[in-house]
Amino acid sequence: MATIKDIALKTGLSPTTVSRVINNHPYVDKTKRKKVLEAMEELSYVPNSSARRLRGQRTNTIAVIISRIVNPFFSHLVDAMGEIATEEGYQLVLCDSRLEKKRELQHLELLKTKQVDGVILASLQNKWEDIEPYTRYGPVISCNEYDSKAQMPSILCDQKQGGYMAVKHLIERGHTKIACAGGALRIELTRDRYRGYEEAMMEADLPVQEEFVFSSSYGIEDGKEVFRRIYAMENRPTAIFAGGDEVAAGIISEAKKMKFRIPEDLAVVGFDNQPIAELIDPGITTIDQPMKYMGTRAMQVMLDMVANNREVTYTREILPLELVIREST
Amino acid sequence: MATIKDIALKTGLSPTTVSRVINNHPYVDKTKRKKVLEAMEELSYVPNSSARRLRGQRTNTIAVIISRIVNPFFSHLVDAMGEIATEEGYQLVLCDSRLEKKRELQHLELLKTKQVDGVILASLQNKWEDIEPYTRYGPVISCNEYDSKAQMPSILCDQKQGGYMAVKHLIERGHTKIACAGGALRIELTRDRYRGYEEAMMEADLPVQEEFVFSSSYGIEDGKEVFRRIYAMENRPTAIFAGGDEVAAGIISEAKKMKFRIPEDLAVVGFDNQPIAELIDPGITTIDQPMKYMGTRAMQVMLDMVANNREVTYTREILPLELVIREST
């Protein structure tokens, strides 16, 4: 394989000049630059990035850990991150944990083995004490999910407020028997939404019924299953707050199959404001999350840390949520 | 930073033994292995992957080029690819071209600079003569999109047959004025679907009307725009074949807003069989693409080429498409 020396020999220029051209230094004479570029082409010279990275200890690569890319919330978040990364000359390594702690730690190993410059945790399955050891190898930040004990920068929304807004809206619509279907309760984001639900119920002197609380609901099929369980109840809720628009869409789809009228027989609130919330019939009332902005900010914060070798400091950016009312309530 | 020599000194073992433990060689004495692992921990030894990659010329990383990850077709394809990659210990670099030729070539540079071991083109914006020079740096295959002039392995569906099936179904439902809304006509996949549309129309002695052919339609908003243009026509089509379920969903959503009955006033066929096709009302008749299988096969073919240093040979795997009839027709 051709080396810088070969190009220097061929062009009669010094290796330093050749290197300057390869690394895009300014102030290189135009004729010399042209000569070098031509020689590179002729000799099929390839600047070896692994070698360059090894010297610079930089990979220009950021890992993003999500649960699964088929969840539209994550595909929109990753799309926004990718846009910024590409603009700044970085690559994005897509890592799905599929909600498994072990897979998440395997992905964090990329930092230890210097295959990525930093890790953005958009999904967070492990406890802080298991994540923390990786932070000595490079920046780790969280985005969307969070851990209140974690000493890392986080871009997040006030999920408790989101749950509160959704359920208060249902109470204002006259509902008293309100169900809730979120993710796994070991996840802080899920617990916070649930606390918002509880707070709104307590404020209105309404009881939280244990059988109305569904957990580990993530996608369309989970939503269908939640409806089937509601349908089988003797004393059914008249409204439900779902932790995602796909879960809400699954509930609505199965409810319509069983001739339930939405919202008359069952009112439904989703979360995220994904495109599907507007498309299905009835449109889904939902809590809008600023997915694009959240992804953009997270990548900006990460690249700033990587490019400027910033010390990791504990900061939190809390972004606003908004209730979007449609026909499902 | 600790080196293999430091660990050898600390444990009293030979550097070769230490190296064997680090690289997970079999036949290392258990006690020695334990000693080495403890010393690695104590000395915070990090096996530097960039260094290892440099020697082995392997990055264990595959780039996947798509147009945009927010398109559910691509998120399902990438999800399946990621599953295989993770199983085999590879990372997946997500590259979106956003339909731009220049961005696609920038991503292909990753191969030239040895940052990835191979590239899967799931979207294909450039001509083969512009892609071909990159193939000398590592394997490039296509999946989903294709170029009949390209000398690279391809995993694809018979898109002409897909277009033919969709339009033949509409003709059998009694339609004679049938519109078509696909992507950009410079893309071979789009042209082939269009040729299937033409063939079905010609076979039934029906004219193809130029004003009924819409191009560059990709998402929900494009679908809405297509309907608005149909709505403004004096002589409207009674059916439309859309090149994606999101485009179909956008058409249906806007049509319903204008009080059109689906399928009575406008019958709609989509493409892909995304989850949304089943969820919206009416359900979308569509051409099912084996997204999961296509992604799985593409990654298997790629990893086989990388792991076994296979010569790039020109093969094509053509996967079956299937008509799924729902209420929109």
Whichever domain contains A220, its CATH number is 3.40.50.2300
At residue B55, the pLDDT reads: 46
**B121 and B188 both lie in a single domain:** no
At residue B1, the pLDDT reads: 58
**A41 and A188 both lie in a single domain:** no
Enter the pTM of the model: 0.84
Residue B52 lies in a domain: no
Tell me: the pLDDT tens digits for B125-135?
999 999 999 99
ipTM: 0.82
Residues lower than pLDDT 50 in chain B: 50, 52-55
At residue A23, the pLDDT reads: 65
**B296 and B215 both lie in a single domain:** no
| 8 A C-beta contact, residue A104 and residue A74 | no
**A29 and A68 both lie in a single domain:** no
**A67 and A116 both lie in a single domain:** yes
Residue B76 lies in a domain: yes
Residues of A in contact with B50 (CB under 8 A): 50, 53-54, 59, 114-115
At residue B23, the pLDDT reads: 65
**B179 and B263 both lie in a single domain:** yes
A112 touching chain B per CB within 8 A: yes
Q: How many CB atoms lie within 10 A of CB A312?
A: 16
- For residues B192 and A192, what is the distance between their CA atoms, to the nearest angstrom? 50
**A215 and A138 both lie in a single domain:** no
Alpha helices (H) in chain B, listed in sequence order: 4-11, 15-22, 30-42, 49-56, 72-87, 101-112, 128-131, 159-172, 188-203, 220-231, 245-257, 275-279, 291-307
B114: closest CA of chain A, how far (Å): 6
What average pLDDT does the structure give for chain A?
91
- For residues B203 and A108, what is the distance between their CA atoms, to the nearest angstrom? 57
Range of the domain at A112: 58-157+291-320
B198: closest CA of chain A, how far (Å): 30
Tell me: the pLDDT tens digits for A58-92?
789 999 999 999 999 999 999 999 999 999 999 99
At residue A21, the pLDDT reads: 79
CA angle A7, A8, A9 (to 5 degrees): 90
Q: Which two tokens stand for residue B184?
A: 């950009």
**A116 and A178 both lie in a single domain:** no
Residue B329 lies in a domain: no
At residue B19, the pLDDT reads: 79
Residue B313 lies in a domain: yes
At residue A279, the pLDDT reads: 93
Residue B300 lies in a domain: yes
B262 touching chain A per CB within 8 A: no
Closest chain B residue to the Cα of A76, Cα to Cα: B70
**A18 and A39 both lie in a single domain:** yes
B205: closest CA of chain A, how far (Å): 36
Residue A53 lies in a domain: no
Tell me: the pLDDT tens digits for A182-198?
999 999 999 999 999 99
**A119 and A165 both lie in a single domain:** no
Q: Which two tokens stand for residue B44?
A: 């915070």
Q: Of B75, B218, B299, B327, which to mutate for an interface test with A (greatest number of A Cβ within 10 Å)?
A: B75
At residue B53, the pLDDT reads: 47
At residue A309, the pLDDT reads: 79
CATH number at residue B36: 1.10.260.40
At residue B48, the pLDDT reads: 55
Residue B103 lies in a domain: yes
Residue A313 predicted with pLDDT over 80: no
Mean pLDDT, rounded, for A275-297: 96
Judged by CB atoms closer than 8 Å, whether chains meet at A112 and B275 is answered as no
- For residues A303 and B163, what is the distance between their CA atoms, to the nearest angstrom? 44
CA distance to A167, A169, A240, B10, B239, per residue, from A212 (Å): 13, 18, 9, 60, 44
**B269 and B300 both lie in a single domain:** no
The mean-pLDDT minimum among A96-105, A316-325, B16-25, B50-59 falls in B50-59
**A164 and A279 both lie in a single domain:** yes
At residue A25, the pLDDT reads: 66
CB pairs under 8 A between A and B: 123
Residue A238 lies in a domain: yes
Tell me: the pLDDT tens digits for B19-38?
777 766 667 788 888 888 88
Q: Classify residue B131 as exposed, middle or buried by CB count within 10 Å of its CB (0-12, 13-18, 19+).
A: buried
Look at chain B and report how many structural domains it folds into.
3
